[in-house]
């Protein structure tokens, strides 16, 4: 560690100690006031004994803790647990702030040298190694990074608790970074005291199990609270770094980031995730992003007060404004005075109409496709074109500073579209197999499909996929489990056909163990009109999840067997010759241990790279990692650099838990 980093770390640790002392004092005052001095005394005794045990490891400290805790009744233990829950939450906040403080200090100290492992340093390394700008542009054009949010399996805290911790964090920020007057600093500490008091009096865990839609809403809080702001900043940093390190080069940065979610789509082991829940989830995603765009359009309109007298306006722009005003039923008076503000009003009105249509829309698989009304946004490109028309006027009048306001909005549209997050559907292979068995028996095609051998299943499925006649009737008379599997595919088809073509893209098969598992899903997709080769349509990627050691070892063989089946090859062609494969870190680690699991994961990625080259297709690896090391957790940058050659190729999907 160099001197500047050492100084930054030392300052951060000192700041952390100050924050911990402040938060600890406020918590102790709260405990004494609301729970009484006896509870505070027990909290202090346990905390001091635990610190002594950690520092010295003396047997008498361990003995004291065990005997003291054994002596407490249930009510006292509950109060102690509450105290330490808040205590550790507050300590974690102080630690996070210290880490951020150290990073900011290092950035300031070594400026203009880029920080280690930053985007700017990565670009600098490429330039220093002689990587030409033209080649880097090609890499960026094909770069595709997709974090996928999953519900955290152990996150039991309520949203209201997380919100209050975030509010405390904001007050610590004010104390750490703003030059507050004494009264202002005291007000910030009083606010923290108030929030700690509320935490003490609030139930920390849910009294009822949350519904799936509650988890969806909690996930959307993350998007609204951070991604909408961070994503444009990241793109801006990338552009400025490229322009600085490769001067004279014009950079056009595509949407290299996309975001996905499993929450509301992952039904493996989650019977509450139904077709209706998936439809509701997609609607929530869309409503969230459309409301955000509406607020952005209104804010933009307040800022773009440019006078028509001071602008050179293309006649086509003015004519388009007048036509839109008539179609939207808006008064055209402002067009001649403040045309850009008027255009923002048009965009806001269109977004409002799009939201109204979404509220009234109930996508049904049996419906025929209907046209989207002309003043409703049907695609992100339509919204983007409206924003670009304003930007073009500003740039044409050398108002480039104002044009950058449009860049932020346009970048969000590029990344989030009209769908916000791509919802992945996941179900276990056993559920598909049971459904196919019942469907084929009811249709009189095969009495016991499940009892067939692997090759017999493949032969039967291959034949069924070439038959023009559907296997599943419109009216379902199956068991609830089979009907739900079918309804899932029909719901996905209805959403993509009638509501949002970008909302769902991937169908993941947990427990994949043979090639027939993928053909079963392709048959179910065909029955729901998701796979229509005669129309040149295959709407979803069908993704095997290899998670056991045996499946990881046989993964390439399973995929190679499918390449001999015409219907599967046709499906891949319609998906631009892309085969995505998900590899699971947790199950293989539990089954065979960390080292053997890590080696199997490494080997399958090498095998998949060879498989892609041999078959002249693209294989994208979806990493089911996160959390503890045993679940594949750890620094993502190091994990990416550790992948075998050919395993990434500019495209990466990775789960982000919690």
Asked, as a colleague might, if the bond just before 112 is cis with ω within 30 of 0, I would say: yes
Return d(Cα 422, Cα 263) in angstroms, integer. 11
List all residues 6 or more positions away from 650 whose beta carbon is below 8 Å from its beta carbon.
Answer: 139, 142, 143, 144
List all residues 6 or more positions away from 529 whose beta carbon is below 8 Å from its beta carbon.
Answer: 365, 493, 497
Buried-state track 432-469, b at ≥16 Cβ within 10 A, e below 16: bbbbbbbbbeeeeebeebeebeeeebbebbbebbeeee
Grouping H, G, I as helix, E, B as strand and the rest as coil, residue 135 is: helix
Which residues are known to be catalytic? 152, 590
Beta bridge partners of 582: 545, 622
Return d(Cα 327, Cα 424) in angstroms, integer. 37
Return d(Cα 271, Cα 255) in angstroms, integer. 35
The two tokens of residue 265 are 């789509």
Cα–Cα distances (Å) from 429 to 434, 474, 513, in that order, read: 9, 23, 8
Separation of first and last alpha carbons in the chain: 32
Chain length of the chain: 658
The two tokens of residue 577 are 């010759």
Residue ranges with strand state E in 414-549: 422-428, 504-510, 531-532, 537-538, 541-546
State how beta strands 651-657 and 618-624 pair: parallel
The two tokens of residue 643 are 């992948």
The two tokens of residue 224 are 């609204």
Return d(Cα 340, Cα 256) in angstroms, integer. 29
In degrees, rounded to 5, the angle at the alpha carbon of residue 62 between the alpha carbons of residues 56 and 66 is: 160
List all residues 6 or more positions away from 101 whose beta carbon is below 8 Å from its beta carbon.
Answer: 8, 11, 12, 15, 176
Short-list 461, 473, 453, CA closest to 432: 461
> With 0-12 CB in 10 A as exposed, 13-18 as middle and 19+ as buried, what is 393?
buried
State how beta strands 260-261 and 422-428 pair: parallel
The two tokens of residue 330 are 């808006």
The two tokens of residue 7 are 């100084």
* Residue recorded with tokens 């620094």: 635
Contact 656, 626 (CB under 8 A): yes
The two tokens of residue 452 are 């067939």
Return d(Cα 49, Cα 55) in angstroms, integer. 10
> With 0-12 CB in 10 A as exposed, 13-18 as middle and 19+ as buried, what is 38?
exposed
Cα–Cα distances (Å) from 280 to 367, 374, 495, 508, 612, in that order, read: 18, 25, 10, 20, 37
């Amino acid at each position: 560690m160099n001197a500047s980093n050492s100084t930054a770390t030392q300052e951060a640790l000192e700041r952390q100690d100050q924050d911990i002392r402040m938060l600890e004092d406020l918590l102790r005052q709260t405990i004494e006031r609301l729970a009484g001095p006896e509870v505070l005394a027990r909290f202090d005794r346990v905390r001091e004994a635990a610190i002594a045990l950690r520092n010295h490891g003396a047997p008498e400290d361990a003995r004291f803790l065990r005997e003291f805790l054994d002596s407490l009744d249930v009510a006292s233990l509950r109060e102690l647990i509450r105290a330490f829950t808040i205590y550790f939450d507050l300590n974690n906040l102080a630690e996070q702030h210290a880490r951020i403080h150290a990073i900011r200090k290092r950035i300031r100290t070594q400026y203009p040298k880029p920080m280690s492992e930053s985007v700017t340093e990565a670009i600098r390394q490429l330039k220093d190694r002689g990587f030409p700008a033209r080649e880097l542009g090609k890499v960026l054009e094909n770069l595709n990074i997709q974090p996928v949010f999953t519900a955290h399996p152990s996150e039991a805290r309520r949203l209201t608790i997380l919100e209050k911790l975030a509010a405390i964090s904001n007050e610590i920020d004010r104390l750490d970074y703003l030059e507050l007057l004494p009264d202002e600093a005291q007000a910030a500490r009083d606010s923290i005291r108030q929030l700690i008091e509320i935490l003490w009096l609030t139930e920390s865990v849910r009294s009822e199990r949350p519904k799936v839609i509650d988890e969806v809403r909690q996930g959307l809080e993350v998007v609204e609270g951070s991604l909408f702001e961070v994503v444009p900043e990241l793109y801006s940093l990338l552009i400025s770094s490229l322009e600085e390190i490769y001067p004279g080069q014009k950079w056009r940065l595509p949407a290299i980031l996309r975001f996905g979610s499993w929450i509301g789509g992952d039904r493996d082991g989650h019977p509450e995730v139904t077709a209706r829940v998936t439809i509701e989830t997609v609607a929530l995603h869309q409503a969230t992003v459309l409301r955000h765009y509406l607020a952005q359009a209104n804010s933009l309109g307040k800022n773009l007060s440019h006078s028509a007298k001071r602008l050179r306006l293309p006649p086509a722009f003015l004519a388009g404004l007048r036509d839109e005003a008539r179609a939207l039923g808006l008064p055209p008076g402002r067009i001649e005075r403040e045309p850009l503000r008027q255009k923002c009003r048009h965009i806001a009105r269109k977004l409002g109409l799009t939201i109204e249509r979404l509220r009234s829309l109930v996508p049904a698989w049996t419906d025929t496709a209907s046209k989207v009304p002309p003043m409703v946004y049907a695609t992100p490109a339509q919204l983007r074109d409206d924003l670009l028309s304003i930007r073009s006027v500003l740039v044409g009048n050398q108002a480039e500073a104002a044009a950058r306001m449009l860049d932020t909005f346009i970048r969000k549209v590029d990344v989030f579209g009209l769908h916000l997050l791509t919802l992945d559907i996941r179900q276990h292979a056993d559920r598909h197999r049971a459904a196919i068995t019942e469907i084929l028996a009811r249709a009189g095609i095969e009495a016991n499909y499940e009892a067939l051998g692997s090759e017999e299943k493949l032969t039967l499925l291959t034949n069924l996929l070439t038959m023009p006649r559907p296997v599943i009737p419109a009216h379902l008379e199956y068991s609830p489990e089979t009907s739900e599997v079918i309804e899932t595919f029909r719901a996905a088809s209805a959403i993509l056909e009638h509501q949002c073509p970008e909302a769902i893209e991937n169908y993941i098969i947990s427990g994949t163990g043979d090639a027939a598992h993928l053909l079963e899903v392709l048959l179910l997709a065909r029955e729901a009109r998701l796979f229509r080769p005669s129309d040149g349509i295959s709407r979803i990627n069908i993704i095997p999840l290899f998670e056991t050691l045996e499946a990881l070892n046989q993964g390439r063989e399973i995929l190679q067997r499918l390449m001999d089946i015409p219907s599967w090859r046709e499906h891949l062609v319609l998906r631009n010759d892309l085969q995505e494969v998900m590899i699971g870190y947790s199950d293989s680690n539990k089954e065979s241990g960390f080292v053997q699991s890590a080696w199997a994961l490494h080997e399958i990625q090498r095998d998949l790279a060879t498989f892609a080259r041999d078959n002249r297709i693209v294989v994208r690896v979806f990493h089911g990692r996160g959390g503890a090391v045993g679940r594949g957790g750890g620094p993502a940058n190091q994990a990416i650099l550790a992948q075998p050659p050919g395993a990434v190729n500019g495209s990466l999907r990775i789960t982000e838990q919690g």
